[in-house]
Chains A and B, each alone.
Chain A
Amino acid sequence: METTNTTTPAMTSKDLVTDQEIRWCPGCGDYSILKQVQTVVPELGIPREDIVFISGIGCSSRFPYYMETFGMHSIHGRASAIASGLKATRPELSVWIVSGDGDSLSIGGNHFIHLLRRNFNVNLLLFNNEIYGLTKGQYSPTSEEGKITKSTPMGSIDHPFNPIALALGAEGSFIARSMDRDPVHLKDMLRRSNAHIGTSLLEIYQNCNVFNDGTFELFTEKSSKKEETIFLENNKPLVFGQNLDKGIMLDGFKPIIVSLENGKYSVNDLWVHDESDLTKAGILSRFFERPVDGTGHLPRPFGVFYENNRACYETGLNDQIEFAKQKKGEGSLDALLKGGETWEIK
């Protein structure tokens, strides 16, 4: 979502720090996300008092306590619903939802999909650590099959959600992915999320170093990152690899990895990313295999999968109010009390 206003003196990231002691475990990925948010928000030109962070419950949901803006730490899974009511009635505010994978995809799954469908102009930061952090390490709806946790000593038999595909299916109008360990990319995605008018879903891979350490290592560690990830940029070909030596082509609807080194294919043959293409976003969302033996699988995409500008719920709601006022005139309480038929008793 985008809101700009440049009348107040420039805010710095320091102005967004609260006096509350941060309670995340040392080394938790949440710290990096907080830092990037505190860096980006002052650039947006929004007065601090017009910013609201709303969260559910979970480690990630402690976030509002650490942001010197208006904030609410609500109940498990319901931040999106609360944000919807706030945005419906206060469309001028910059509303940010902070939520975990359990919070948004398990207990709050219903609100998550309906928020995306309605397209309120808010930003949803989905901290995905593929685990329940706060409750000390049970598997979550994004944990992989077979995952051994306290609640799944023999391995999880739940098939996980693919959050990006889910968001696309829920008619999301802005769908992006980033990671805690790539501050530059994360900041960029935060700016893009803010700029989008409509619900911006930003899935952030976040390391829980206590209960699920290293889940995203393949994507975040220097040693494997280049081979295992692909960074999407609009109108740019899909190139990745240690030396940018690989690309993705589409064979019909089937994505294939090609080498750019053997002279057979060049960058010009590759799939060019188009953020407005829903079909291709769908294919990209399915770059989701778990790298088993490290060969042959598609790299994990990061960046904006899809963006589409369509009407926001609150705009429609306020337009209807204005229209009703124009058509019927500002409501008169006396006329309402009186209703249609009346009679007098003397």
Chain B
Amino acid sequence: MTSNNQVLEKVIIKFAGDSGDGMQLTGTQFTNTAAMFGNDLSTFPDFPAEIRAPQGTIPGVSGFQLHFGSVNIFSPGDFCDVLVAMNAAALKANLANLKKGGTVIVNSDGFDPKNLRLANYFDNVSPLTDGSLEAYRIISIDVTKITKAALADSGLGTKEIDRAKNMFVLGFLYWMYNREMSFTIKFLEDKFSKKPEILAANIKVLHAGYNFGETSETAPTRFTINPAPMPSGIYRNIMGNQATAIGLIAASKKSGLDLFLGSYPITPASDILHELARHKNFGVKTFQAEDEIAAICSAIGASFGGKLGITTSSGPGIALKTEAMGLALMLELPLLIINVQRGGPSTGLPTKTEQSDLFQAVYGRNGEAPIPVIAAKSAADCFETVYEACRIALEYMTPVIFLSDGYIANGSEPWRFPNADQLKPIKVEFTTELNSEKFLPYKRNENLSRPWAIPGTKGLEHRIGGLEKQHETGNISYDPENHEFMVKMRAAKVEKVADSIPDQTIDNGTEKGKILVLGWGSTYGAIKGAVIEARAKGIDVSHAHIRHIVPFPKNLGDLLKNYETVLIPEMNTGQLKSIIRDKFLVPAIGLNKIKGMPFATSEILVKIEELV
């Protein structure tokens, strides 16, 4: 049959099902197909905290949200247009995030009495039939049954047949959104090259889904989302943790230093370890240490030896690393500490996102212990930001803290990746000559940075340690004047980093005005979207997003004073706000969300409107 075709600007689809339903794969495939087609997009996966949460229950629901469009997309979006629910629990868990009038595509087999009970729909009353979904458009398909029928003579077992269900849904969505299936077919061919029966089954079910759209009258409308106006160039899709790992390897290559990662697995940082472990042919060494302390200490050992020492973790692990961070700053060795933040405190919300480790990064050490802090704003931005973090660490001989969070770590977006030769070189010089009659390990250069003389360098044997040290000689010193001098010197060195960073720019809006929305980290997309909408409504509001938090760009204080109101949205109780108020005496206002969830654009927009 022929159906209507409607052109849309942007769509948000949430794929939700049981952990075993393959929703992450379905979402990723649809995403990559959209990316290839030229849409701009942003994604956010939402995993259950337990690996094997009971099947059919709400804690077992795994989700993947995709926002794609023919316009620029800055975040995975707030409320979805389409919800794919493979069972009753998936519907229950996500219905609140579906727009009124939105579409629900359900697998009706996932609403049998058992699934209803597990999802806490009592008395066998299915939401599909009790009228409770009247506000939405329901497309109910018995995916399980059709998949079984399609594969009746495939010779595959029930389990394998059941696993192909997600391909039906994907095929159906490809039909609904006028998409080619070739990308996914090629993906399946690669993935199942050694299992021809499974390959054939998946492709068959994918087509079955597509054809179902074509022939049944379930969804009379098809949609077209045209390519987005993106800067010309070659793109790939990238997730934050992947971009971080690649950025680290790029810094290793550009600085000529082998990369050493000391790490201990923790959600949501582990994927950086996994990704780096795959790239041994870049000379990358990954070391899964016995704990986070050993992880950072091994990285310090590697840095002492003249390598690019890196450690990755999340809040609880960063807490364990604290003492060693202090050591690294006393040793004045380059070191990268990566915190992919998650909900805290303590074990907190391991699979949820938060920005609540900013104080920990800025202040969380014993003694006067300043360390540069830098934060990425989006999945792709992790690349450039972590590269910049490595530059600072190496040029200033200092540990640097790089902040990411679960949201951008697992989220993805199109990335116009650079060529290797477009990357700024990172200068590293080991000292090989005496800098005085006797080697002075703490004699500083114009950056206030000390020489890096690595073991194996004849004539430069010296000792460093965590005890307070005398200016220049590095000898242990308990002299009161010297201590004060050295504390100030270490702080001055960190402040000096500001000489090498760009001035704070305005992302959107004007250099002066009524309201400035100031953000840091992963709130970028939501703020960006909100400020665009507010400006479209004629509101005098601008957006600035900080990458360098310690030290701040030199012009930041003056810039903030150009606005009547500074609004700082954060996924914490107001940590940047406190720092800004303290540093610049600006009466910044907070917008705070501590739900383990990113901001919705609308939440920020409402606040902006309230301030007008």
B300 within 8 A of A: yes
**A330–B281 touching, CB < 8 Å:** yes
The answer to whether B455 and A337 have CB atoms under 8 Å apart is no
B467 at the interface (CB under 8 A from A): yes
Instruction: Indicate which residue in B237, B250, B258, B297 contacts A333 across the interface (CB closer than 8 Å).
Output: B250
* Contact of A70 with B36 in the complex, beta carbons under 8 Å: no
B20 within 8 A of A: no
Whether B262 contacts A85 by the Cβ 8 Å rule is: yes
Q: How far is A346 from B229 in the complex, measured between Cα atoms in Å?
A: 10
Please determine whether B461 and A49 come into contact, CB atoms closer than 8 angstroms: yes
What residues of A have a CB within 8 angstroms of the CB of B253 in the complex?
331, 333
**B297 adjacent to A74 (CB under 8 Å):** yes
Interface membership of B104, Cβ < 8 A: no
Shortest distance between the CB of B474 and any CB in chain A (Å): 10
Is B304 part of the binding interface, using a Cβ–Cβ cutoff of 8 Å? yes
Contact across chains for B301 and A331 when beta carbons are under 8 A apart: no
Q: Which of A64, A87, A329 contacts B463 (CB 8 A)?
A: A64
Could you mark each residue 215-249 of chain B with 1 if its beta carbon is under 8 Å from any beta carbon of chain A, else 0?
A: 00000000000010011111111100000001001
Q: Does B323 contact A (CB under 8 A)?
A: yes
Interface residue ranges of A6-22 to B (CB < 8 Å): 18-20
> How far apart are A10's CB and chain B's nearest CB, in angstroms?
15
Which residue from A49, A54, A346 sits with its C-beta under 8 Å from B460?
A49
Do the beta carbons of A345 and B235 come within 8 Å of each other?
A: yes
**A86 CA / B305 CA spacing, docked (Å):** 6
- Which residues of chain B from 472 to 517 have any CB-CB distance to chain A below 8 Å in the complex? 475-476
Residues of A within 8 A of B298 (CB): 81-82, 84-85, 88
Q: Decide yes or no whether A259 CB sits under 8 A from chain B.
A: no
Chain B, residues 32-59, CB within 8 Å of chain A (1/0): the string is: 1001101000000000000000000000
A52–B285 CA distance with the chains assembled, in angstroms: 21
Once the chains bind, are A81 and B301 in contact (CB under 8 Å)? yes
Query: Considering only CB atoms, which chain B residue lies closest to A53 in the complex?
Result: B463
A58, chain B: closest CB distance, angstroms: 13
Say yes or no: is B391 at the interface (Cβ < 8 Å to chain A).
no
Q: How far is the CA of A333 from the CA of B475 in the complex (A)?
A: 41
Cα of A338 to Cα of B304 in the assembled complex, Å: 32
Distance between A137 CB and nearest chain B CB, rounded to angstroms = 21
Decide yes or no whether B567 CB sits under 8 A from chain A. no
Proximity string of chain A (68-88) to chain B, C-beta cutoff 8 Å, 1 when within and 0 when not? 111111110010011111111
Of the candidate stretches B94-102, B415-423, B544-552, B588-596, the one touching chain A is B415-423
Q: Which of A49, A65, A85, A345 contacts B230 (CB 8 A)?
A: A345
Partner of B287, one of A47, A50, A84, A330: A84
B250-277 contact mask (Cβ, 8 Å, vs A): 1 or 0: 1001000010101000000000000000
CA distance A343 to B37 in the complex (A): 8
The contact size tier of chain A is: 35 or more
Check A85 against B456 for contact (C-beta < 8 Å). no
Identify the closest chain B residue to A114 (Cβ). B290
Q: Write the chain B residue with the least CB distance to A344.
A: B234
Q: Is A340 an interface residue (CB 8 A)?
A: yes
Q: Is B427 close to A, CB under 8 A? A: no
User: B463, A85: Cβ atoms under 8 Å?
Assistant: no
When chains A and B are docked, how far (Å) is the Cα of A88 from the Cα of B300?
Answer: 12
**B155 CB within 8 Å of chain A:** no
Query: B465 is contacted by which of A70, A72, A89 (Cβ under 8 Å)?
Result: A72
Residue of A nearest to B476 (CB): A65
Most central of B32, B234, B301, B438 by chain A CB within 10 Å = B301
- Among residues of A, the one whose C-beta sits closest to the C-beta of B282 is A331
In the bound complex, what is the Cα–Cα distance between A277 and B146 (angstroms)?
66
Contact A89 B234 (CB under 8 A): no
- Tell me whether B467 and A344 are in contact (CB under 8 A): no
Q: Are A47 and B463 in contact (CB under 8 A)?
A: no
CB–CB B463/A65 < 8 A = yes
| Closest chain B residue to A47, Cβ basis | B458
Q: Are B323 and A75 in contact (CB under 8 A)?
A: yes
Closest to B463 in A: A71
Tell me if B425 is interfacial: C-beta within 8 Å of chain A: no
Distance from A106 Cβ to chain B, minimum over Cβ atoms (Å):
14
Once A89-B260, A339-B236 are accepted as A-B contacts, the answer to whether A75 and B456 lie under 8 Å apart by CB is no
Which of A337, A340, A346 sits near B250, CB closer than 8 Å? Answer: A337
Closest to B309 in A: A85
Q: Is A85's CB under 8 angstroms from B287's CB?
A: yes
Is B306 an interface residue, CB under 8 A from the partner?
A: yes
A122 to B464: give the CA distance in the assembly, Å: 20
Q: Does A250 contact B (CB under 8 A)?
A: no
Given the known interface contacts A49-B459, A89-B260, A344-B233, the answer about A72 and B289 at a Cβ–Cβ threshold of 8 Å is: no
Chain A residues lying within 8 Å of B302, measured Cβ to Cβ, are 85-86, 88-89
Contact with A along B308-345 (1 / 0, CB 8 A): 01000000000000011011000100000000000000
Residue A327 CB within 8 A of the other chain: yes
- Does B151 touch A at the CB level, under 8 Å? no
The B125-168 residues at the A interface (CB cut-off 8 A) are none
Q: Which residues of B are found within 8 Å of A321, using beta-carbon distances? A: 280-281, 283-285
CB proximity of B26 to chain A, nearest CB, Å: 17
| List of 7 A-B pairs having minimum Cβ-Cβ separation, nearest first | A85-B301, A73-B465, A85-B298, A331-B282, A81-B297, A86-B301, A324-B280
Q: Which residues of B contact A (CB under 8 A)?
A: 32, 35-36, 38, 183, 227, 230-238, 246, 249-250, 253, 258, 260, 262, 279-285, 287, 289-291, 293-294, 297-307, 309, 323-324, 326-327, 331, 417-420, 438, 455-467, 475-476
Task: Supply 30 A–B pairs (Cβ within 8 Å), ascending by A.
Answer: A18-B463, A20-B475, A52-B455, A69-B461, A75-B326, A78-B294, A84-B298, A86-B305, A87-B301, A88-B298, A89-B307, A90-B306, A92-B456, A111-B290, A323-B280, A325-B280, A330-B281, A333-B250, A333-B253, A333-B282, A336-B250, A336-B279, A336-B282, A341-B32, A341-B35, A343-B38, A343-B235, A345-B231, A345-B235, A346-B232
Further pairs besides A86-B302, A321-B280, A325-B280: 14, Cβ < 8 Å: A18-B463, A64-B465, A68-B461, A70-B463, A86-B305, A88-B298, A90-B305, A90-B306, A110-B291, A321-B283, A333-B250, A343-B235, A344-B234, A346-B232
